[in-house]
Amino acid sequence: PVLGRILRQPAHVGDNLLGPLTNPAGAHVQVVGVFAPGWVEPVARVLAQLGSRGAFVVHGAGGLDEFSNAGVNRAAQVDGGAVRNLAVDPADYGLPAAPPGSLAGGDAVVNAALGVEVLKGARGPRRDAVLLNAAARADGSWPFSAMANVRRGMTSDPPRTYPDVESSAPSV
């Protein structure tokens, strides 16, 4: 009966809430994005009760389900069973604010090309969003002190070759 009620919920409930909580891989460290700010702390508390060693649960500025450079993000950190609520402002780490639309992508080919641009060192809101999310390590730590290393690593020696995104993109 419980599973039947769960399956009747809107898709975003299953994808964003139940997926990470019922992951058969048994992940004990993770970053989970949620679709509404009211779910940040409850999901973090459930992850803590399920034995997560370290996790972040986030509702990003601009309505995103990841850390966003559009403004202050609501997050909860799970660390050794304890849950701590956070307000993460990218400006505190030297990242300029950007409107959510500046992060928009497209189909698989467009998104792959945008990702390659970031990996090649293109500066701008997409790169800043990648930096912000990379800083929220899945082990539940918050290594913003390492952000400079991430910045250098993205531009100092970019890969020489990239996958052929057009031939590997799924046909629709």
What does the pLDDT read at residue 172? 44
CB atoms within 10 A of CB 80: 9
Q: Which of 55-64, 65-74, 149-158 has the lowest mean pLDDT?
A: 149-158
Torsion of CA 24, 111, 148, 83, to 10 degrees: -30
In the predicted structure, residue 107 carries a pLDDT above the cut 70: yes
- Report which of 77, 72, 29, 73 is spatially closest to residue 57, judged by C-alpha positions: 77
Provide mean pLDDT across the span 75-98: 89
Q: What is the pLDDT of residues 132-152, one digit of tens each?
A: 887 776 445 555 555 555 555
Q: How confident is the model at residue 99 (pLDDT cuts 50, 70, 90)?
A: confident
In the predicted structure, residue 118 carries a pLDDT above the cut 80: yes
In the predicted structure, residue 17 carries a pLDDT above the cut 60: yes
Q: What is the pLDDT of residues 20-38, one digit of tens each?
A: 666 666 777 888 999 999 9
Report DSSP state, residue 15: I
Q: How confident is the model at residue 95 (pLDDT cuts 50, 70, 90)?
A: confident
> What value does the mean pLDDT of the chain take?
76
Q: How confident is the model at residue 156 (pLDDT cuts 50, 70, 90)?
A: very low
d(CA 23, CA 25): 5
In the predicted structure, residue 158 carries a pLDDT above the cut 50: no
In terms of pLDDT, which residue wins out, 171 or 58? 58
What does the pLDDT read at residue 119? 86
Taking phi first (over 0 means left), then psi (-120 to 50 degrees means alpha), and beta for anything else, what does residue 57 get?
beta
Report DSSP state, residue 94: T
Report DSSP state, residue 92: G
CB atoms within 10 A of CB 4: 7
What does the pLDDT read at residue 85? 95
In the predicted structure, residue 43 carries a pLDDT above the cut 80: yes
